[in-house]
Structure 1
Amino acid sequence: MSPLDDMRGERLYDYSSPELAESFRHASRLCCRLRSLYPGHPDYRAVLEELIPGIPQSATIIPPFFCDHGHGIRLGEEVFINADCVLLDGGLITIGAHTRIGPKCQLYTPTHPMDAEERRRPVETAHPITIGEDCWLCGGVIVCPGVTIGDRSVIAAGSVVTRDIPADCLAAGNPAVVKRRLWTSSPPDLSPSP
């Protein structure tokens, strides 16, 4: 197995391997190019599509923007990512359609070993982050490795999301906790399952 396979498979991997180092350099170059562009600039879409293969035409990322690799990011239709966001995509980052990501949000998939001796080595694991459809992450939200945020949920500004958040919830705090349930046209069925 390659270091990329280990990284995507949530296994310990060597991030200094030539394959991953080149992937990181490629993304860093493109993030630097993107920094001088804006949506509507003639080169903006080409750079974005090279950085994040398969990005929908309707998705928008406002520079500056940083990611580790780019090829670990999956965006749905009409996703909007505001300025100064960081998506560390060692693990896959999936963001559902119509989700809004506020400025200075940070999505971290990598995690380093807890053992200090092991942490001296260039190794880490990465755990995927999944954000559902129609979500809103307000400014400055941090999402930690392995977290899933359910459809239509809102995460208040400055929150640190360390655990999964169910669909149709408002969560806030450090660590973020569910403050109340949300719904659009009709309330969700909150009765206990049989």
Structure 2
Amino acid sequence: MTELEKMLAGENYNPLDKTLVKMRKSARLLCEEFNLSSVADLAARKKILKRLLGSTGKDFYIEPSFKCDYGANIHVGENFYANFDCVILDVAEVKIGKNCFIAPQVGIYTATHPIDPVERANGIESAKPITIGDNCWIGGRAVINPGVVLGSNVVVGSGAVVTKSFGDNVVIAGNPAKVIKVIEPSN
């Protein structure tokens, strides 16, 4: 198995593999191009993001600065919006549904490291995918940790640290995040 195949399979892998280093550099150059682009040229910004991200809906918008590891592992649905300073560490796949909004300074992290200090010092990494359902709103400075699945219609309070998965129609907040309210969607 290649290091890329190991990474995508959620197994331990070596991030210093030449192929992975090249892929990250390419993504960072596209992020740099996007982050330096003019607000007056929205079409150019969208083209850059289409080259960077794995898939998008027709209508989506990301404010600079935006940073990611690979880009190709990020899939966002229709009517997606990410505010300033979003960071998505997409070592594994990140799927975000339609009508989702991300507030400023949100971190979505699939990357993880061994708890064992010897393994960690050897540079070994792994990753767990993250899935965010439709109609979600992630509040400012929230962190979504590796392996989390959020159902549809979830609101994540500002500053929340999401360490486990949650189903549909809830407001979660805190560190670690917990349900603080059940949402009764209007018809």
With over 3 angstroms needed to count, the CA separation of the structure-2 counterparts of 1:122 and 1:39, relative to structure 1, is farther
1:103 Cα deviation from its structure 2 partner: 0.7
Counterpart for residue 125 of structure 2: 124
Task: Describe the SS at the equivalent of 1:13.
Answer: coil
Counterpart for residue 185 of structure 2: 184
Counterpart for residue 148 of structure 2: 147
Q: Distance in 1 between matches of 2:134 and 2:177?
A: 19
- Give the structure-1-normalised TM-score: 0.92
- 1:78-133, Cα deviation, whole Å (9 max, x unpaired): 11111100000001000000010111000000111111111112211100000000
Q: Distance in 1 between matches of 2:101 and 2:42?
A: 22
Q: Distance in 2 between matches of 1:127 and 1:85?
A: 19
Check whether the contact 1:39–1:45 (CA below 8 A) recurs between aligned residues: no
Counterpart for residue 62 of structure 2: 61
* Partner amino acid, structure 2, of 1:159: A
Check whether the contact 1:39–1:62 (CA below 8 A) recurs between aligned residues: no
- Give the structure-2-normalised TM-score: 0.95
Where does structure 1 lack aligned partners over 5 or more consecutive residues? Answer: 187-194
Counterpart for residue 190 of structure 1: none
Q: Percent sequence identity over matched residues?
A: 34
Task: Describe the SS at the equivalent of 2:122.
Answer: coil
- 1:114-172, Cα deviation, whole Å (9 max, x unpaired): 11111112211100000000000011110000001110010000000001111100000
Any residues of structure 2 matched to 1:25-44 within 5 Å, and which?
25-37=25-37, 38=39, 40-44=41-45
1:40 Cα deviation from its structure 2 partner: 4.1
Counterpart for residue 167 of structure 2: 166
The question of 1:95 aligning with 2:101 is answered: no
Q: Distance in 2 between matches of 1:111 and 1:68?
A: 13
Count of residue correspondences: 186
With over 3 angstroms needed to count, the CA separation of the structure-2 counterparts of 1:144 and 1:53, relative to structure 1, is closer
Counterpart for residue 20 of structure 1: 20
Larger Rg: 1
- 1:3-57, Cα deviation, whole Å (9 max, x unpaired): 1111111100111001110110001111111111237434212211111133223
RMSD: 1.2
With over 3 angstroms needed to count, the CA separation of the structure-2 counterparts of 1:61 and 1:142, relative to structure 1, is same
Task: Describe the SS at the equivalent of 1:179.
Answer: strand
Task: Describe the SS at the equivalent of 1:54.
Answer: coil
Moved beyond 4 Å, runs of 4+: none
Where does structure 2 lack aligned partners over 5 or more consecutive residues? Answer: none
